[in-house]
Amino acid sequence: MPDAVLRYGDKELTLPVHTGTHGDAAIDISKLRAELGLVTLDSGLGNTAEGEGSISFIDGEAGLLSYRGYPIEQLAEHASFLEVAYLLQYGELPTPTELEAYEESVRRHTLIREDMKHLFEAFPHNAHPMQILASAVSALATYYPDALNPLDEEAVDISARRLIAKTPTMVAWSYKYRVSQPYIYPDNTHDYASNFLKMMFSVPAEEYTPDPVVAKALNLLLVLHADHGQNCSSSAVRLVGSSHSNIFSSVAAGIHALAGPLHGGANQAVLEMLEDLHQNGTSVETAVKRAKDKNDPFRLMGFGHRVYKNFDPRARILKKQADEVLDALGIDDPLLDLARELEEVALNDDYFVERKLYPNVDFYSGIIYRAIGFPADMFTVLFAIGRLPGWISQFRELLADPATRIFRPRQLYVGPATRDYVPLDQR
Ligand code: SDX
């Protein structure tokens, strides 16, 4: 790829251009300030690559996503969540022996310290599950003080397995406290998704067998959420990790970023939007009209994306999956019909077409989570469980790169010019 040449005043600077696997290119501006005294301005960082990455690739124009080169459609069809967690972290699909060893190592860490119950019981019953999850993940760091060094590969590896193993247990236990039911311990005879379902929905008084249809749907949802490049929450994990903060603190930062309604919090907001439209009998035409009105803060949640200017491939898969899960469970959810109608009207409206606003991963996921039985305010926590291997892989990739430096962006200062202090009695 030819270099770029930047002309500024009477100066000219040649900037190297790096090329990615799929032909995408990036101008290296690391010499810009030293040579021309300039920095770049890119609000929201939509045109800025923070670094090179090898974990997932997104072609926003074509609506394509792959993890370590494997198309999401194929992984969604064939892979288990732990298989994908292995792939994202170690770069290759595991052999049967590697997968069995990885699954066994995760199974061995599904228990959490008994005293974590005091943490969950310290929260009000209506605490948002994302706030509790971020606190619990931060708290994990306090139990493993000897395995916090982010530059110690072994420490990071065991911490990664603990995070992936213990998070479903922490989520289920905080839920059980909220609904005043007994804590259900992990049962390692089950696979990852089934174990989580049992901890969430079983009670000691009755036999509980996880529904294989539901377990398969949950596995798919976790796979689809596993990684997505430098999204807001993964960038938060990398930024905190760049200061050599430990992996638990970095992932906790990612959880807080994901909680925002513009990001992972959108899956809860989509369901609340659909319920509101359904309960008030608002037509989809009215909803679309409101979403286009700049004076109306209403947005079509689950629509639009910084990178996808085409259908989010995950939304395409989930749209189909929603049908299958609801049919298999014999659920006729009017919100699914409403979502479909909303999508249809929006995708034929110039405002959405011109801006290339399509359904994203959050548009259909909530309908499936609801069919499984999760409360709406837990949907983003489910997104977080799925995104854990992605956050962990991004953290590991960053810390393994010797060229990594602490993140410290510049700003263009437009505040007051230098001025003298005015004594209080003269103001
Ligand atoms: C996720 O980055 C990732 O990879 C994220 C994610 C992942 O896997 O990690 O994919 C997960 O976060 C998906 C996104 C979930 N969020 C939502 O569904 C919330 C609703 N969507 C929007 O708020 C918005 O589309 C964003 C936040 C997703 C993207 O915001 P951008 O890129 O900053 O786009 P923008 O706000 O500048 O919008 C461009 C235009 C604007 O109109 P104009 O100024 O051109 O007139 O599109 C409009 C916006 O007003 N617009 C919408 C809209 N989304 C954008 N108008 C109505 N409804 C919407 N949903």
| pLDDT tens-digit map of 64-89 | 999 999 999 999 999 999 999 999 99
pLDDT over 90 (residue 8): yes
405 pLDDT band, cuts 50/70/90, is very high
3-class secondary structure, 212: helix
Q: Tell me if residue 305 is catalytic.
A: yes
CA of 292 to the centre of ligand 1 (A): 13
- Which one, of 251, 254, 318, lies nearest residue 73 by Cα? 318
Average confidence (pLDDT) over 256-271: 96
How many CB atoms neighbour CB 297 within 10 A? Answer: 7
* pLDDT exceeds cutoff 90 at 214: yes
The reply to whether 337 belongs to the active site is no
Q: How far is CA 322 from CA 222, 270, 317, in A?
A: 14, 15, 9
Instruction: Calculate the alpha carbon distances from 318 to 69, 124, 166, 178, 313 in Å.
Output: 21, 33, 26, 29, 9
- CB 190, CB 210: distance < 8 Å: yes
| Ligand 1 atom at minimal distance to the Cα of residue 232 | 2
Residue-level pLDDT at 305: 95
Mean pLDDT value of segment 5-18: 96
Q: Tell me: the pLDDT tens digits for 308-357?
A: 999 999 999 999 999 899 999 999 999 999 999 999 999 999 999 999 99
For ligand 1, the distance from its centroid to the CA atom of residue 298, given in whole angstroms, is 12
Angle at 81 between CA 366 and CA 84, to 5 degrees: 120
CA–centroid distance, residue 354 to ligand 1 (Å): 14
The response to whether residue 177 sits with its C-beta less than 6 Å from ligand 1 reads no
- Is 230 near ligand 1, meaning CB less than 6 Å away? no
Place of tokens 């394509």: 64
Ligand 1 site, residue 357, Cβ cutoff 6 A: yes
CB 133 within 8 A of CB 173: no
CA of 307 to the centre of ligand 1 (A): 9
Q: Which atom belonging to ligand 1 lies closest to the Cα atom of 355?
A: 47
Helix, strand or coil, per DSSP, at residue 71: strand
Residue nearest to atom 22 of ligand 1 (CA): 304
Give the per-residue pLDDT at 414.
Answer: 97
Q: Is 300 in the pocket of ligand 1 (CB under 6 A)?
A: yes
Distances (CA, A) of 253 to 138, 142, 384, 426: 9, 16, 12, 44
Share of the chain above pLDDT 90, in %: 98
Euclidean distance between CA atoms 85 and 55, whole angstroms: 11
Q: Quick: pLDDT tens for 149-188.
A: 999 999 999 999 999 999 999 999 999 999 999 999 999 9
pLDDT per residue as tens digits for the range 28-56: 999 999 999 999 999 999 999 999 999 99
- Per-residue pLDDT at 204: 97
Q: Report how far ligand 1's centroid is from the alpha carbon of 44 (Å).
A: 12
Tell me: the pLDDT tens digits for 219-230?
999 999 999 999
Which atom in ligand 1 lies closest to the alpha carbon of residue 360? 13
State the chain's mean pLDDT as an integer: 96
266 lines ligand 1 (CB under 6 A): yes
Q: How far is the CA of 289 from the centre of ligand 1 (A)?
A: 17
Q: Which atom of ligand 1 is nearest to the CA of 306?
A: 32
| Ligand 1 pocket residue status of 314, Cβ below 6 Å | no
| 217 vs 226: CA distance, rounded Å | 14
Share of the chain above pLDDT 70, in %: 100
Average confidence (pLDDT) over 377-397? 98
Q: What is the pTM of this model?
A: 0.96
Q: Please tell me if the CB atom of residue 231 comes closer than 6 angstroms to any atom of ligand 1.
A: yes
Residue 1 reports pLDDT greater than 90: no
Looking at residue 207, its pLDDT comes to 96
Mean pLDDT for the stretch of residues 350-373: 94
Distance CA 354, CA 368 (A): 30
Place 234 in a pLDDT band, splitting at 50, 70 and 90: very high
Amino acid at the residue 201: F
Exposed, middle or buried by CB within 10 Å (0-12, 13-18, 19+), for 182?
A: exposed
Interatomic CA distance for residues 85 and 80, integer angstroms: 9
